[in-house]
Amino acid sequence: MKLLEYKAHEVFSAYRLPCMHGYTASTADEVKDLAGLLTYPVVIKAQVQTGGRGKAGGIQFAEDTAELLTRSTEILNMKIKDLPVHKVFIGQKVEVATEMYLSFTLDRKSKQPVLIFSTEGGVDINEIAENNPDKLAKVLIPTGPDLSDFVLQYVIDKTGLEPALQDQFRTFCRTLYTIFLEQDCLLAEINPLIVDQAGTLMALDGKIDIDDNALYRHPEIKEFRDEITDNPLVLEARSFDFLYIPIQESGNIAVISNGSGMIMSSIDLISKRGMQVTCALDLGGGATSERIAEALCIVAKNPRVDTIFINIFGGITRCDEIAGGVKNSLEYISQKRLVIRLEGTNKEIGLDILRTISGDLELVDGLYEGVDALAQGMNI
């Protein structure tokens, strides 16, 4: 779960980490209502779940209310990397003396947190990491709830952080590491971590990614996730603990499977044959016939879907439950073409159930055979 910037600042504030304070708005009228609360000049920042906002024009400055309304309206009407901007974050402009970079992330290979710090930050941090690796410190953190002094001293020595900032830096790192652990983060990043004209460190921008598997421990983040999702099928699927994934608006095929690897393989092969998937739905494990029927009803509500490819490798999920779910949902999917591949527990029982169903339904033995059947049905 990727938090929007303003939500990351809320988390920072809750832990008393010095950060940018401001207000959010979703319409020009809301921006106008905020005008009296602001001290100019201000910065207006698009709130989207992607990077590169500055280069795309999603960060603007305003010297007065008239300019604030103009710039905010421009940003609210733009798309950044095909993502529409539904909200802006507005705060007082900060005079920056120095930009740096600080993050904690998870090193999957070592299964340990890693601290990354550079005395140079901002939009070009990736270029710095690639072209000037000596300006960047990256250190694995020994397992435990505390950030050791020797880790911080190593980072300070390697990057040459000036002495006047070292105490603040240690406090910043320890607080951000606490956030990383307590909020179940996969990433807690500050870019830029700035030094203002008074010599004070501040998180000018923040990025927090929280492990989806830990969201049950963070009900307020689950609520936020639903607030920023405007696709009703995503929300409906989520209510059944399914993952519904919109893919291509121009597609006509829905893929239903149990696992992200199966879904990605299906989409890749379908795309290579010149067909387009409009959505996918991940059942997870252990789905019952009732849940399978719900999943089929959800994808059938997508008006672009005329073909559904069900690709199941049954283990915990039994093939006879899949077949029962298909049978129970016939009144909702009767106008859809079905291509079904079942493999695993109770496969033959499931196939026997499916053979009793009349309609546009084709059973296949494997993934490649399923993609062939899809192509033949579309004369590709």
Annotated catalytic residues are 101, 189
In order of 1, 351, 359, 363, the CA distances from 356 in angstroms are 42, 9, 10, 12
Contact (Cβ atoms closer than 8 angstroms) between residue 268 and residue 370: no
Cα distance between residue 293 and residue 298, in whole Å: 9
Burial group, residue 303, by CB count within 10 angstroms (0-12, 13-18, 19+):
exposed
Strands 22-25 and 88-92: antiparallel
Strand partners, 281: 244, 256
Q: How far is CA 90 from the centre of its chain?
A: 23
Per DSSP, helices labelled H in the chain are: 5-14, 28-34, 65-76, 125-131, 149-159, 163-182, 219-227, 232-239, 260-272, 289-300, 319-328, 330-333, 347-355, 367-377
Tokens describing residue 377: 């049905």
Q: Tally Cβ neighbours within 10 Å of residue 241.
A: 11
Strand partners, 160: none
Tokens describing residue 108: 């999957």
Q: Which of 246, 253, 285 minimizes the C-alpha distance to 269?
A: 253
